[in-house]
Structure 1
């Protein structure tokens, strides 16, 4: 039986998630409903993707008995409230990152998911790509020896990173990707977190350099920045992003190293002790907007498998992973002077860039 998806939101990432699902067999994935805050937008989106039901509120969608799981791709600051709405209505959830803006909210959502005995996953899609499976195999096999250094850089052409009052900022959009890279390798909390960053005039972060020190002299050197090629506006965002070769992820160990080619957040190529690996992206019936978004199908397949097995969290992106990543981000916020604790979760018409 197919996994029946309900979609919350009609923005860029929801477009690409639905386009990615078009590469999957209908016997495995079906989009049965979409909801937006304006019914006409939901109807237009539904017509594009052949979705049978459109709703003008998220409350209506979570009450639909045909929906097996809800995908949340709305603006950052609404993720917590919509996640809780879904969980309290008995619906499992795949929520785009960041799942919440504060670590306290992350823990609250996880607590409710456990109380309701429902599946919940923060959608850091990188973890579901075949290249990341290869990384795990290399780490588990011991071919690297003892990993002691992670180096990751994430740059993006973003002239507008949004306002912190709207849940914006570069950390929430792209900084989490370099942090998840370190977490993939070193798992637990670092012993020390050091951050130097740059803020926009309105206080949102434009980027930062991060040093994470772990036990046993293990370290991660991480950089994220939003202004790379941002002013070359005669080229599309996709063209500019694809030309940024800095977006790589390297793991160095006592016996060898792994290098994940750009873009490491949604990769198709890597090199390591077992040789070069390449996994071409699947073809979709509908065009994607953001680079390599065809790979969102890997995340959907991963969620489907978890549901079939009765799992309440995804082994590739566990609740513990989310709490560690968001705890690191919470400390970064302190050091950078960012405060999301008072951000309203009320939806607005302004969209914030989501990747």
Structure 2
């Protein structure tokens, strides 16, 4: 049985029921509204397709449910701000599901940077790419996914970050942080890392063994994110100190600007303009 899971919802009640039976979850719901109305639910994990995040997360918040919403939190900054405002109005917990943030490797990197172990950071590089063009939900533009892109971020004191993603080709899938005194490298699968190379020295951070077959690489690492959320709720926090809502807003503002420069427009962008015209 999934620890603490009290129910699962789907627009297809048979799929929800089958999933609940397979994982020994007590309840299943044939709609998200049914789940939102259940008083036994303390927090809802919203893991549906990106364009539906806003609508379903707002539904949960309106019903008084805390929310952990899968990345991206929404489709643009305006939508993110809607969610943040709704959570604060209801005095509820809200967090974006950036699971990488909570891996032991990520915590080790933050400690190394705080200790100035590699000096002043000058360049950060990250690659994420694999062959996924045969996956229908990833090649539909309306779902908010692009085939390939490189983003270059420039910071004061001649510092830069370069991020490349692709669904059409295999990339190194590693991240490198280059400082004036050394280098930190996160080898392959940098989004769910289990090792770290600091100035040539390897550090291992093995994951707990899975209790059942996995759908994705190292997905037992989701437990770190779930545990962080549990701790926040136990402390009565409304946002996570390690991933505050202001950071989700900042990330989305950067993505919005990148799309603007690339000329990529989502349907949700035009909806925002329509709202402004109505007001």
Same fold by TM-score greater than 0.5: yes
Q: Deviations over 1:38-87 (max 9, x none)?
A: 11111000001000000001111111111111001111111011111111
Secondary structure in structure 1 of the residue aligned to 2:96: strand
SS in 2 for 1:30: coil
Aligned to 2:101: 127
Residue matched to 1:143: 117
* Alignment-derived partner of residue 39 in structure 1: 13
Tell me which residue corresponds to 1:337: 263
Distance apart, 1:168 and its partner CA: 3.2
Q: CA RMSD in A?
A: 1.8
Report the equivalent of 2:130.
156
Per-residue deviation at 1:330? 0.5
For the 8 Å contact 2:75–2:268, the answer to whether it is kept is no
Deviations 1:8-44 (A, max 9, x none): xxxxxxxxxxxxx85xxxxxx3111011001111100
Q: Which residue of 1 aligns with 2:28?
A: 54
Which runs of 5 or more residues in structure 1 are unaligned?
1-20, 23-28, 170-204, 230-243, 346-355
Count matched residues.
268
Instruction: Report if aligned partners of 1:73, 1:96 keep a CA contact under 8 Å in 2.
Output: yes
- The aligned residue for residue 277 of structure 2 is none
Q: Where does structure 1 differ by over 6 angstroms across 4 or more consecutive aligned residues?
A: none
Match of residue 16 from structure 1: none
Q: Give the 3-state SS of the residue equivalent to 2:153 in structure 1.
A: strand
Higher relative contact order, chain-length normalized (CA < 8 Å, sep 6+): 1
Structure 2 residue 166 is the aligned partner of structure 1 residue 225: yes
In the alignment, the residues of structure 1 paired with residue 119 and residue 104 of structure 2 have an alpha-carbon distance, to the nearest angstrom, of 22
Q: Deviations over 1:213-254 (max 9, x none)?
A: 01221110111111125xxxxxxxxxxxxxx6x001111111
Matches within 5 A, 1:46-195: 46-159=20-133, 160=135, 161-165=138-142, 167-169=143-145
Q: Which runs of 5+ in 2 are unaligned?
A: 272-279
- TM score, norm. by length of structure 1: 0.72
Q: Is the 8 A contact 1:153 1:247 kept in 2?
A: yes
Q: Report the 3-state secondary structure (helix = DSSP H, G, I; strand = E; otherwise coil) of the residue aligned with 2:45.
A: strand
Query: Which one of 304, 321, 325 corresponds to residue 251 of structure 2?
Result: 325
Instruction: For 1:343 and 1:221, locate their aligned partners in 2 and report how far apart those are by CA, in whole Å.
Output: 26
Per the alignment, do residues 278 and 344 of structure 1 end up closer, same or farther by CA in structure 2, a change over 3 Å counting? farther
Rounded to whole Å, the distance in 2 between the matches of 1:82 and 1:223 is 30
Provide the C-alpha distance between the structure 2 equivalents of 1:227 and 1:274, rounded to a whole number of angstroms.
Answer: 31
TM-score by length of 2: 0.91
Q: Quick one: which of 156, 162, 186 aligns to 1:215?
A: 156
